[in-house]
Structure 1
Amino acid sequence: MATIREILVMAHTHHDIGYTHTPSACLEAHEAAVGEAIRLAEAAQHDDSPTAFRWTFEISRPVLQYLRHAPADEVRRLQELVAADRLAVTGGYLHMTQLVGHEEALRAFWPIHELRERYGLPVTIVQHGDINGLGWGTVPLMAAAGLDTLVMALNPDHGRPPFEQPSAFHWEGPDGSRVLVWLNLHYGFADLAEEGTIDSAREVIPPLLARTAERTDYPFDFLIVHAARDNMWPDGRAVNAARLWNEEGCTPPMRVVTIETAMAKVREQAARVELPVVRGEWSDWWAHGHGSSAYEVGIGREARAELRAAETAHAVRQVVGQAPKARPGGIAVGPTPPLLGWYGPPIAGARRGAWSERVDAAYDDLLLWEEHTWGAGESVTKPFSQVTHAHWNEKAGFGYRAHATARELQRDAVQGLIDALPAGDEPALVVVNPLSRRRDELVTVTSRTGTTTRLVRDLPPLGVTVVPLHDETSRPPERATVIENRFYRVEVDPATASVTSLIDKETGKEWVDAGAASGIAGVVYEVADPADDHPAITTSRRHFHPDTPGPRFVRTAATGTGEGPTLERAEGRSTLIWEGKALFLPVVRTTITLYDDLKWIDIDVYLRKEENYEMEGVYVVFPFALERPEFHLETTGAVFRAGIEQLPDTCHDWYSVQHAIGVTDGESSVLWATREAPLVQLGGFRAGHWAREFRPESGHIYAWLMNNLYFTNFKAAQGGQFDFAFRLTTAPGGVDPSAVRSWGESFAARPVALIDAVAPGEFHWLDIGPETVIAQVVTPVPRSHDDGIVIRLRETAGQVTTATVAWRAEGEIEVGQTGIFGEVVDAPVAGDGRTFTFSLRPFDLASIMIRRR
């Protein structure tokens, strides 16, 4: 129990990139607001009263944009006001959702180095508002960036906080690093900013004081109250409210502070007590919104993979250092003019901007797409309003622009690498592998002349395979309900349009749970039961909330249509295709592919969806026959065990994953991957349960493709044509985190294939080992004319590991360790010019720089 001696008032705006206005209007205003905050802070710089104007910049992106455009005098003014504790700068780039990928998450912390080194601003704190969770990998990234404190002004709508608000605890990362977390009240608590009065404060603060006095887990003698609203322009309302509170003799007194002052006090008093330490994922209750725009979410995830392939190809081309060789152009050049086209080859000189600038712009668009503001505040209640349409057009534009830029970068980079390879006499299939491990993969090339699909084996790591073009041998299609190879026997029921038997021939195990709502790859449509009197149906979807469990859903599995499944055979693979339909899904087409010599199954689902503005959901179900299983989920920068390595009271009903899940009962296991769709429900249908713990009875994975269970921000309905891809493999025994990460990465980061006149063969320059060490990204030295490349390496097995980098081409290289945030560190790695070794800690993320000697 503690006696509260003062209330610290922290004034800022909550940065929604939209919601109250269009994203472009908000971005412009946020940058301009930096200048206004400087003006107000300067006007009050001689006011030493406890209620003098002070302001905190909640995120760093507007500050960076302002500083990059500001004259030197304005930069100096900001620096002086920060030094005087009149203004404070924080380190969170934007308020990110759990869509953010491994490399984007790291990129979001790159500005910390710029803020400190270029502008001399101390940054030690990350502040977030509204969002209800963060990937577990956030902790080691913050620790590596020198950010020791996380402030979460969590929004309890649609979810729960892991501890009572306010609270403090240490959040421990998968690598053992820690950050101090201040879990605060919602940023709009007491309405000090909106009203500029104390009417609301008089009402809500006394009960909070009484509750705090009862608590034995709150060892602090202060409270922190945010004075903020969505996209609020800086002004003196919070100052006036705090002054009025003090003048009228309300207790305890209020003091206006920056976040630096507030967190200094938190750290000081936290050091005197033993705070809770928690490990695991902070799974986000609001992640269900990722299912509001399935097509665009898939586009964003594809952009991420294309950026990775582009950076890899460009970097490898740079370090290979061979001059382009003259040879015939691509296929179908002849009399055809060089046309700029989506499917055509890149045209040299058609793009402006330096490579690094284009990459930076693509990542920035991707972060703006993955940021938490999806739509207008009235997107659900007024789905046809002008602002709803204008807002969504701009928001979706971030994802589409990131994708378009990434695709052009990929084409340019891959073509540049191909141009450095020996010329061939005939067009050939050229396949670039962006991963640091050997692999087999089915690749597809789409050009103006058609589509070519081939199974390519033994692709070299970070290398190229060139194979001659030839016509595939195939058999005429035939009707069949069974498909099998030496690993699996798969049986499809035409009536239920799903896999009703999947037998692993190596173990004899049947993997389909016969008691499920549908078989593997079955499509299930759900709608809130109109006969249910739940308030989420009868009043407002705001009542889709833990305080009101439910509502009840009616679920219907798709049924088969047409003449039944069709079996097609091609080189190295067999494919079974069938069609079905369900409510609001007039066409469901499912394709399952087995490979002659590869133990995995590919499943592709095409949907034609009609819009429905009632509460709905769409699933592809994978009811694996496992009892009391353990689920291992790939999240941003980590793999965690659902319900075990997870903060208390965070979301168990659904999870947003990167690309992979491993599930095991200890005796058998399955690795499962998803490309476009991140949302899953585990162990059964769980929407509306609002479970406080996760104790699954079955090993079911339900890919939750679409839903609209929210009351604001997200799209009210969605329709159109959609493609979703999945992959699975089964094995005896358990699951390890390294296998999960590798499985997801291999499925997400597809090889890139082109048709060009290149001599057949394998081109392989660099090896990285062991397999538990992966290259998260391979990229040219950022923003530099240096001819070196940077490789970010991730240890994935949770063990101290000796990593090896081996040069396979002619000549020798130099290897040095460098900072993961783009900072230059002169730390040579010992080696003989061909092979280099260095140590990685468990789950370590390290950066190395490679140059040719």
Structure 2
Amino acid sequence: MNNRQRPYKIKLIQHSHLDIGFTDRQEKIKQLSIDFLKQVIRINEKIESGERRDWNGFKWTCEAYWSVESFLKSESKEWIVRLEQAIKKGTIELTGDYLHLSELIDEQVLVSKLKASREYADSMGVKVNSSMNVDINGCSQGYGNALVDTGIENLFTCVHTHHGMYPLKRQEPFWWEMPNGKRLLVWNGDHYHLGNDLGIEPLVMIEKEEQGNFVTTPVLHEDVLKDVYKRITSYVQELENQEYKYNFIPITVSGLYGDNCPPNGHIMDFIEAWNGMYGDEVFIEMTTVHDLFEELKNTDKEIPTYSGDWPDWWSDGVGSTPKSTKLFREAQRKLRAINGLNTENQYIEQSEIEELENNLILFSEHTWGSALANGKPWSSLAQSLRFRKDMYATQAHVRAWKALDKILYKKGEVLLSVNRPLTFKLINPNPLSVKEVVKLPVLRKWQTILLKDGFKVVEKGNGNDLVYQTENLDSSGKKIELYVELEFAPYEEKIIELMPCKQEKLIASLSPVPRDKVNDVAKLNTNNPVEANMFRLETPFVKIVWKQGDGIVSWIDKQEKKELLRGDRLYNAFTPIYEITKKREGEDIGSVRRHLGRNRKGFHVERDRGKLTNVKVLSIGPLYAKVELQYEMEGVSYFSLVLKAYANSPRVDASIRVNKDSVWEPENVYISLPFAVNQAVETETWFEKTGGLIRPRIDQLPGTCVDFYCIQEGLAMTSNDQGLVICTPDTPLIQMGSLDAKEVVLHGDTEHIKNSDLLYSWAMNNIWETNFGIELGGFHEFSYSVFWGGEYCSPQHSIETCRGLNTGIVSFYYEEN
């Protein structure tokens, strides 16, 4: 400190880091959050009454509006008045964040929830223009844009670098520019427990008075303050070594060391004692996030501007719960369909939508489970927190379907009855035109008997006969799926009917194979526009070829006569890859995971590739052909890839079914996606993330992750004249580049990382030693769609098409009133 050129001021921000779970049951965390606000209110009132006048200047920053909202919903009018008095006085600071989120949430729910804090503040005449993002390792550019659009000007971040990293430099501000030119002022802070590490949260003695009451007294003797002095001056020297240019230092502190901790008025006792001894060198004052940025704006220092996405290093945790993540994503898409059908709340009350949104955002909150999740996965707390987390996805799924059922019933859905007509209504809930092969509700035995002599499908209104295809759902033929192909304008509704017709037979579609049922003949005499056998799948648009062991070795665009699989691929299309990092001598199950660092695998990782062992032709008809490819691989007892290629469009759907073994050691499962247009020459890769599109490894903040990303509905690869789109409705994680453990490169560190690198769907993992899930065992299904052509040169159009395809067409039994 002797070389210090100026006195410093620590701007101390007291808060409680909110984890909904991790330290206790989720409902208990809500109770704690409410009680922490009551404790702050009591501290405020003691200061005002003069009982604790020495605590004057005490402040508390509420990280997330969820805590305040929970208070408002549960407490009496008297408590609410006392809360609002503390807010208006400035003792309690409201911030603009609703919760600290993973990147699973989409913009429709995010924007809805971000408005809540601002609207409540406006009702009191209080200004809220700052947000506090703590612990998590990033937030999408769309998230930043949503903050700006809801009136937030400032973002204070405190990244926890466990398995992650902050961008740029810590303890420095920057302007974060959005695609529309609007900017968010960011202070890129240090760890959120820094104040506790430095000793600013004083030790407290609990003593018993003669009357029998317990009292707390902070330990503030000279030796304690000297020790804190060494820590603080060492930290200041570290900042000076990185050419820190401000005379104030923002530092966060919790009332006790840990997450979900209460306020601590005794920190004011420490500040008074410190300032009395060392305040002429480093003065400490308690402040708020808003006041921090006001002081920053009053400086004359130049603040750099950066733009781009801020990928969250911790987003990989969503792959630890693949089943509930799939449910969550389906519920989120159903909400989009509901909003498309319920534009004026004419079918569903807004309160029902809010309950659905509440469950969606609670599942996407960054806390997945217990601190014991992987070290003691059998513990009651670990199991309880995991089931409750899954419950949010399940409840969101239930509420989404209940709301959609209500809408469909009001739109004419006829429920199961003896005389139910074979009439169906189909609705496009999307704001764009869609051409789709639509699956109708299942036909059951008593219905198929009515149609045993044949039928036709007629579009009501124009009388057009529609081409259709059927599939048996079981060997008995008691349940049949029926598919028709239709084009829809935005939000268009169509009605179709099944009519008896002697010329058609109700049989499941299958090619005229030889009597031995082996599909191995190159060309069979069939009128179907699609072909499939043991070695290839072919339509007018694509020819897919596979080999035993190797899997899919070719994927030809027949219109352009070009190979769509990359020549530099290491694994073939949709080949599964399994990784395990085994414990070494001296390691326990926790330390082997801690040592994975940012690679998400160990240097000694073992890897196995799926080997193709068997092929089945499932269906051939006028609309599509479907085949099943079966693989063998370590880590799974069953792995099946079902490909469905369409007769009238350049599109292939893929469905992966897997029975995963239960393994305690850290694992990853990837699916290879080695697709490209023009062999990845002069092409760009685009990801849909929350609220917008990015080019990974291009549109990013310096110093951010370039190995994996959490995306929304899919990705696109575009060139001047061609495009290829991959929809990922169930699996949000995408790995980019090499799967090997390697020296970690951050964005901006090198020019050698490519935007057009190899891609993998990161289907599941259990690599974290804390918080995230460990049990991957059981049955899973993951769906993908691949489509391509000249109309997909625009990334915006490509992703809009992807969203529409994933949301789908709504179909149901219908009867006019």
**Distance (whole Å) between structure 2 residues aligned to residue 2 and residue 663 of structure 1:** 53
Deviation of 1:575 (Å): 1.2
16, 30, 34: which one pairs with 1:27? 30
1:687 positional shift = 5.8
Which residues of 2 match residues 354-393 of structure 1 at below 5 A? 355-393=349-387
Query: 1:587 is matched with which residue?
Result: 638
| 1:797 equivalent in structure 2 | none
Q: Match of 1:437? A: 432
Of the three residues 529, 538, 541, the one matched with 1:487 is: 541
| Post-superposition offset of 1:706 | 0.7
Of 406, 413, 419, the match for 2:407? 413
Show CA shifts across 1:389-416 (max 9, x none).
Answer: 0111111111110111111111111221
2: CA distance between counterparts of 1:663 and 1:687? 26
8 Å contact kept, 2:170–2:188: yes
Identify the residue that residue 222 of structure 1 maps to in structure 2.
248
CA deviation map 1:748-801 (0-9, x unaligned): 212221122359xxxxxxxxxxxxxxxxxxxxxxxxxxxxxxxxxxxxxxxxxx
Per-residue CA deviation, residues 330-368 of structure 1 (Å, 9 max, x unaligned), is xxxxxxxxxxxxxxxxxxxxxxxx722111001001000
Q: Deviations over 1:232-260 (max 9, x none)?
A: 02222432332332234363021112223
Match of 2:509 in 1: 474
Distance 1:203 1:545 in 2: 30
Query: Distance between the aligned counterparts of 1:673 and 1:547, measured in 2?
Result: 26
Report the residue type matching 1:303 in the other structure.
A
Matched-pair contact (CA < 8 Å) for 1:368–1:398: yes
CA contact (8 A) 2:431 2:491 kept: yes
Going from structure 1 to structure 2, the CA distance change for 1:457 and 1:298 (only over 3 Å counts) comes to same
Q: Which of 689, 708, 711 is the matching residue for 2:766? A: 708
Q: Distance in 1 between matches of 2:496 and 2:422?
A: 10
**Closer/same/farther in 2, CA of residues 592 and 201 from structure 1, 3 Å limit:** farther
Deviation at 1:138, TM superposition (A): 1.8
Question: Structure 1's 407 and 139: CA in aligned 2 closer, same or farther, altered over 3 A?
Answer: same
Q: Deviations over 1:633-673 (max 9, x none)?
A: 11000101111110111111110000111124667542111
Indicate conservation of the 8 Å contact 1:675/1:748, yes or no: yes
Q: How many angstroms does 1:102 deviate by?
A: 1.9
Label 1:579 to 1:73 Cα distance change in 2 as closer, same or farther (>3 A): same
Q: Which residue of 2 aligns with 1:254?
A: 284
The superposition leaves residues 214-239 of structure 1 with CA deviations (integer Å, 9 ceiling, x where unpaired) of: 334x4321011111230002222432
Q: CA offset at residue 195 of structure 1? A: 4.5
Offset, 1:688: 5.5
In structure 2, what is the equivalent of residue 646 of structure 1?
Answer: 700
1:278 equivalent to 2:330? Answer: no
1:724 to 755, 764, 782: 782
Do the aligned residues in 1 keep the contact of 2:413 with 2:814 (CA within 8 Å)?
Answer: no
Please tell me whether the aligned partners of residues 660 and 743 of structure 1 are also in contact (alpha carbons under 8 angstroms). no
Q: Secondary structure at the match of 1:315?
A: coil
Q: CA deviation at 1:149?
A: 0.6
When residues 635 and 149 of structure 1 are mapped into structure 2, their CA distance, relative to the original with a 3 A threshold, is same
Residue type at the aligned position of 1:755: Y
TM-superposed deviation, 1:456: 3.0
Displacement after TM superposition at 1:159 (Å): 1.4
Q: Secondary structure at the match of 2:490?
A: coil
Q: Distance in 2 between matches of 1:317 and 1:115?
A: 23
Q: Is the 8 A contact 2:428 2:489 kept in 1?
A: yes
Instruction: Give a deviation string over 1:80-137, Cα, whole Å, max 9, x none.
Output: 3223222211110000110111211112212034313434432111111111111111
Question: Given the alignment, which residue of 564, 568, 573 partners 1:520?
Answer: 573
Q: CA 1:697–1:138 in structure 2 vs 1: closer, same or farther (change >3 Å)? A: closer
- How has the CA–CA distance of structure 1 residues 267 and 455 changed in structure 2, closer, same or farther, with 3 Å as cutoff? farther
Q: How far off is 1:176 after superposition?
A: 1.2
Write out per-residue CA displacement over residues 188-214 of structure 1, whole angstroms, 9 at most, x where no aligned residue: 113134856667744542222112223
Q: Does residue 92 of the first structure (1) align with residue 92 of the second (2)? A: no
| Match of residue 134 from structure 2 | 129
What is the aligned counterpart of 1:459 among 477, 488, 507? 488
User: SS in structure 2 opposite 1:139?
Assistant: helix
Aligned residue for 1:826? Answer: none
User: 1:162-181 to 2 correspondence within 5 Å?
Assistant: 162-181=167-186
Structure 1 residues 75 and 567: CA distance shift in structure 2, 3 A: closer
**What CA distance in whole angstroms lies between the structure 2 residues aligned with 1:174 and 1:473?**
51
Q: 1:8 to 1:117 in 2, by over 3 A?
A: closer
Residue equivalent to 1:152:
157
- The answer to whether the aligner puts 1:206 opposite 2:233 as a matched pair is yes
Quote the Cα distance in structure 2 between the aligned partners of 1:536 and 1:442: 51
Tell me: CA distance 1:194–1:606, structure 2 relative to 1, closer, same or farther (3 Å).
farther
Q: Does 2:616 align with 1:570?
A: no
Instruction: Give, in whole Å, the separation in 1 of the partners of 2:90 and 2:738.
Output: 52
| Partner SS state of residue 418, structure 1 | coil
What is the match of residue 121 of structure 2?
Answer: 116
Please state if 1:752 is matched with 2:816.
no
Q: 1:419–1:453: structure 2 CA closer, same or farther, 3 Å change rule?
A: closer
Tell me, yes or no, if the aligned pair for 2:55 and 2:265 is still in contact at 8 Å: no
Q: Are residues 571 and 680 of structure 1, via their aligned partners in 2, closer, same or farther at CA, if it must alter by over 3 Å? A: same
Determine the C-alpha separation between the residues in 1 that align with 2:480 and 2:99: 40
Work out whether residues 683 and 697 of structure 1, in 8 Å CA contact, stay in contact via their aligned partners in 2.
no
TM-score, structure 1 length as denominator? 0.79
Match of 1:292 among 304, 320, 330: 320
Over the matched positions of the two proteins, sequence identity in percent amounts to 22
Query: Given the superposition, is the C-alpha separation of residues 442 and 688 from structure 1 closer, same or farther in structure 2, using an over 3 Å criterion?
Result: farther
- The partner residue of 2:392 within 390, 398, 408 is 398
Identify unmatched segments of 5+ residues in structure 2: 205-218, 445-478, 500-505, 514-518, 520-532
Contact persistence 2:413–2:815 (CA under 8 A): no
TM-score (norm 2): 0.82
- SS of equivalent to 1:475: coil
Structure 1 residues 716 and 457, CA, compared in 2 at 3 Å: closer, same or farther? same
CA positional deviation for 1:732: 5.5
1:633 partner SS: strand
Q: Which has the higher strand share?
A: 1
C-alpha distance in 1, partners of 2:95/2:229?
A: 30
Taking only aligned residues, the RMSD between alpha carbons, in angstroms, comes to 2.9
For 1:750, the aligned partner's letter is: G
Provide the rounded CA distance (Å) in 2 between the counterparts of 1:52 and 1:515: 63
Conservation of the 8 A alpha-carbon contact between 1:489 and 1:503: yes
What is the alpha-carbon distance in structure 1 between the residues aligned to residue 354 and residue 80 of structure 2? 23
| Most deviating of 620-629 and 672-681 | 620-629
Contact 1:660 1:740 (8 Å CA) reproduced: no
Cα separation, 2, equivalents of 1:124 and 1:72: 26
Q: Please report how far the alpha carbon of residue 10 of structure 1 lies from its aligned counterpart in structure 2 after TM superposition.
A: 0.9
Partner of 2:213: none
Who wins on radius of gyration, i.e. which is larger? 2
1:145 and 1:744, CA in 2 relative to 1: closer, same or farther beyond 3 A? same
Residues 373 and 772 in structure 2, CA contact (< 8 A), matched pair in contact too: yes
Cα contact 1:575–1:592 (8 A) shared by 2:
yes
Q: Which moved more, 1:78-87 or 1:407-416?
A: 78-87
Aligned mates of 1:210, 1:146 — CA distance in 2: 37
Q: How far apart, CA to CA, are the structure 1 residues paired with 2:15 and 2:600?
A: 32
The question of whether the paired residues in 1 share the 8 Å contact of 2:443 and 2:482 is answered with no
Deviation at residue 554 of structure 1 after TM alignment: 2.2
